[in-house]
């Protein structure tokens, strides 16, 4: 394919596109009007022709500059945005790993405290090692361990009958079956 063929194809393509925008009859009428006016006023025609020839190259250069600047701006803006999104992702990814680790540690800490609290609760107040329920009793009295009356703290009487100034001794004992040993921790914590 030669240069003349490609120039001919380009000219044909440009003519076809121009025909789509402005019909050939309208273009012919406009061209005849311009030629007629240039023949009637040759001085004005020569001035307009000279102005068109001298102003057309700077106008084409300015248009090309604006188009290339717009394209460069769009490309550089996209690259600028992509670059800073990449930098933000480089900060975000390690931050997410750190926060996931912190979240897992806090969750594990909560599970350990929950399981440990349930174990302590069951050890101290709930079921004993032999499977029997355990309770806490305060013993009031002035002397020996066997003197005084028993007041069940987490049982049904709720500690009624305490006297001011009396010595209180707390011990763990096997509870009666009718004593409520659940409910100290909001509904109890039975082991699985």
Q: Is the pLDDT of residue 158 over 60?
A: no
pLDDT at 49: 87
Q: Residue 129: pLDDT band by 50, 70, 90 thresholds? A: low
**Lookup: tokens for 114:** 């929950």
- Alpha-carbon separation of residue 189 from 63, 75, 106, 113, 124 (angstroms): 80, 64, 21, 13, 12
- Alpha-carbon separation of residue 50 from 63, 100, 148 (angstroms): 20, 74, 127
Q: Residue 125: pLDDT band by 50, 70, 90 thresholds? A: confident
> Contact, 175 vs 155, CB < 8 A?
yes
Number of CB atoms found within 10 A of residue 152's CB: 20
pLDDT at 38: 84
pLDDT at 115: 94
Burial of residue 126, with CB atoms counted within 10 A of its CB: 0-12 exposed, 13-18 middle, 19 or more buried: buried
Quote the CA–CA distance of 10 and 13 in Å, as a whole number: 5
Q: What is the pTM of this model?
A: 0.40
Sheet holding 167-174, edge to edge: 150-152, 134-141, 167-174
Q: Is the pLDDT of residue 99 over 60?
A: yes
């Amino acid at each position: 394919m030669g240069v003349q063929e490609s120039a001919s194809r380009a000219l044909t393509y440009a003519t076809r596109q121009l025909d789509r925008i402005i019909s050939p009859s309208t273009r012919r009428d406009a061209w005849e009007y311009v030629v007629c006016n240039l023949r009637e006023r040759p001085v004005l025609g020569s001035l307009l022709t000279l102005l068109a020839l001298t102003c057309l190259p700077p106008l084409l250069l300015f248009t090309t500059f604006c188009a290339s600047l717009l394209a460069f701006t769009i490309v550089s803006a996209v690259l600028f945005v992509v670059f800073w999104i990449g930098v933000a992702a480089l900060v975000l990814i390690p931050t997410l790993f750190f926060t996931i680790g912190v979240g897992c540690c806090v969750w594990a800490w909560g599970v350990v405290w929950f399981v440990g609290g349930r174990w302590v609760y069951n050890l101290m107040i709930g079921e004993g090692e032999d499977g029997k329920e355990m309770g806490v009793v305060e013993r009031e009295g002035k002397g020996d361990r066997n003197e005084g009356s028993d007041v069940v703290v987490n049982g049904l009487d709720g500690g009624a009958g305490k006297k001011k100034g009396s010595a209180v001794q707390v011990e763990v004992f096997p509870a009666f079956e009718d004593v409520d040993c659940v409910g100290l921790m909001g509904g109890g914590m039975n082991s699985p």
